[in-house]
């Protein structure tokens, strides 16, 4: 079975999961939640909270291999306390709680379900409706690796096929477009300017990936302008997220991409990550909504850049690691019937050049392939396991979401 394809056509090298980091005096963290789960969209993410308070947290997309979503609620394995349906208490120094989203909190919220063909897996998360014609804001990690995406509007139950407008992987933001959608109610976006520590917040989303009425995680803002270094489950592909809202609301796996509301039910952030510690000491993080929508505006305008990717990426179809003996990207496997395999690239080969640009590592291959779109042809050079040099012009196919 293939691991999650890299967005630009290769797969991340296997590596041990990140070890548990030291804890601060006021937080407990455990091992990353779901550490044995398949690496997929919304897989666990290790995060360090500034250089002095490292934490281990998880991305909030739920993963399913087949059947119901895995509800990754915390390392303790205990379910959150439940509140009466529709209740929405405002915390006043009490323990943060989880209940059911009110009718107002469900407006503009969608459940996002993805298929990851190259893993034989599925994943689920949350999103917010930006326009009545069906533009959806979500986290990049909710759709990362997806080969097909369906979106269900919570308030109507109607399901749409979605396409990827664009992604900003290093900022963990993505925009989708629902097909044949019109007249949708949009999320009530507020402003993340002027937020105050101690203010009441509610994180709403598709907790556990189970669908139905969204959950409501109720708490307060603990800190502002937090910096996080995020990696995937294998400690690969680090991303630096800055300016994050920290909350003690017990947001869960599946909530990613959902709204973080203020006490007036205006969206002030997008739920993104949560502590893998016990539910008695929840730690969650949200991207400020002003930041998320500014990135979404660039995506919607089609302004591609080093950090903004428009549409789906080109796909080479190889699994690679850094070569231990020579400069290049060591091929661990080639997708059967994929562009690389058709060109004769096989496990044990080392890719050394793409489009005239030397490839010295697996990350360099990612960058080189990332400059090309599906359908484009690119010159690739490699050395086989016997030391023989090869060259071919390879046409990239459409890859999974990055």
- Determine the 3-state secondary structure of 116 from DSSP: strand
| Reported pTM | 0.76
225: buried, middle or exposed (CB in 10 Å: 19+, 13-18, 0-12)? exposed
pLDDT of residue 381: 95
SS3 content of the chain, % helix, strand, coil (to 5): 10, 35, 55
CB-based contacts of 382: which residues, under 8 Å, 6+ apart?
328, 331, 345, 349, 350, 351, 352, 389, 390
**Secondary structure, 3-state, 171-195:** HCEEEEEECCCCCCCCCCECCCCCC
What is the sign, positive or negative, of the torsion defined by CA atoms of 16, 11, 321, 237?
A: negative
Compute and round to an integer the Cα radius of gyration of the chain.
21
Catalytic residue among 172, 255, 271, 402: 172
305: buried, middle or exposed (CB in 10 Å: 19+, 13-18, 0-12)? exposed
How far is Cα 391 from Cα 203, in angstroms, rounded to an integer?
52
How far is Cα 131 from Cα 290, in angstroms, rounded to an integer?
16
The domains of the chain, with CATH numbers, are 31-176+183-300 (2.40.10.120), 312-398 (2.30.42.10)
pLDDT of residue 238: 66
Catalytic residue among 141, 144, 353, 372: 141
> Residue-wise pLDDT tens for the chain (402 aa)?
222 333 333 333 323 333 333 222 222 112 121 211 222 223 333 232 222 232 333 344 433 333 222 222 222 222 222 222 232 333 344 467 889 999 999 999 999 999 998 888 999 999 999 999 999 999 999 999 999 999 999 999 999 999 999 999 889 999 999 999 999 999 999 999 999 999 999 999 999 999 999 999 999 999 999 987 665 444 555 667 899 999 999 988 899 999 999 999 999 999 998 765 444 567 889 999 999 999 999 999 998 988 899 999 999 999 899 888 889 999 998 999 999 999 999 999 999 999 999 999 988 898 888 788 899 999 999 999 999 999 999 999 998 898
Q: Is 58 a catalytic residue?
A: no
How far is Cα 167 from Cα 176, in angstroms, rounded to an integer?
9
- Determine the 3-state secondary structure of 224 from DSSP: strand
Catalytic residue among 256, 275, 323, 381: 256
How far is Cα 18 from Cα 158, in angstroms, rounded to an integer?
40
Q: Is 322 a catalytic residue?
A: no
Q: Is 256 a catalytic residue?
A: yes
């Amino acid at each position: 079975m293939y691991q999650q394809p890299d967005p630009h056509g290769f797969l991340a090298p296997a590596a041990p999961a990140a070890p548990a980091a030291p804890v601060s005096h006021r937080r407990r963290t455990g091992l990353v939640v779901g550490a044995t789960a398949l690496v997929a969209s919304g897989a666990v993410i290790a995060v360090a909270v500034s250089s002095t308070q490292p934490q281990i947290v998880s991305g909030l997309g739920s993963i399913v291999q087949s059947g119901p979503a895995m509800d990754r609620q915390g390392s303790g394995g205990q379910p959150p306390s439940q509140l009466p349906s529709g209740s929405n208490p405002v915390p006043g120094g009490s323990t943060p709680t989880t209940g059911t989203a009110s009718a107002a909190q469900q407006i503009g919220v969608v459940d996002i379900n993805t298929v990851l063909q190259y893993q034989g897996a599925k994943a689920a998360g949350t999103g917010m409706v930006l326009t009545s014609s069906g533009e959806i804001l979500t986290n990049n990690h909710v759709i990362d690796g997806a080969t097909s995406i369906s979106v269900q509007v919570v308030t109507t139950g109607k399901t749409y096929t979605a396409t990827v407008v664009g992604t900003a992987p290093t900022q963990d933001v993505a925009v989708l477009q629902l097909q044949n959608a019109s007249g949708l109610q949009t999320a009530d976006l507020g402003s993340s300017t002027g937020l105050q520590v101690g203010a009441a917040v509610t994180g709403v989303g598709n907790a556990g990936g189970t669908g139905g009425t969204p959950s409501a995680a109720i708490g307060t803002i603990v800190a502002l302008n937090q910096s996080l270094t995020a990696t995937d489950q294998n400690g690969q592909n680090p991303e630096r997220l800055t300016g994050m809202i920290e909350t003690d609301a017990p947001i869960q796996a599946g909530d990613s991409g959902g709204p973080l509301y203020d006490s007036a039910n205006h969206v002030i952030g997008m739920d993104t990550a949560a502590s893998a510690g016990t539910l008695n000491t929840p730690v969650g993080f949200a991207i400020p909504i002003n930041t998320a929508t500014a990135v979404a505006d660039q995506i919607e305008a089609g302004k591609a850049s080093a950090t903004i990717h428009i549409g789906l990426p080109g796909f080479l179809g190889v699994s690679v690691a850094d070569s231990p003996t020579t400069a290049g990207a060591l091929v661990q496997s080639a997708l059967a019937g994929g562009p690389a395999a058709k060109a004769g690239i096989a496990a044990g080969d080392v890719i050394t050049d793409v489009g005239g640009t030397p490839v010295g590592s697996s990350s360099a291959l990612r960058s080189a392939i990332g400059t090309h779109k599906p359908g484009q042809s690119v010159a690739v050079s490699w050395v086989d396991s016997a030391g023989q040099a090869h060259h071919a012009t390879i046409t990239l196919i459409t890859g999974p979401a990055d």
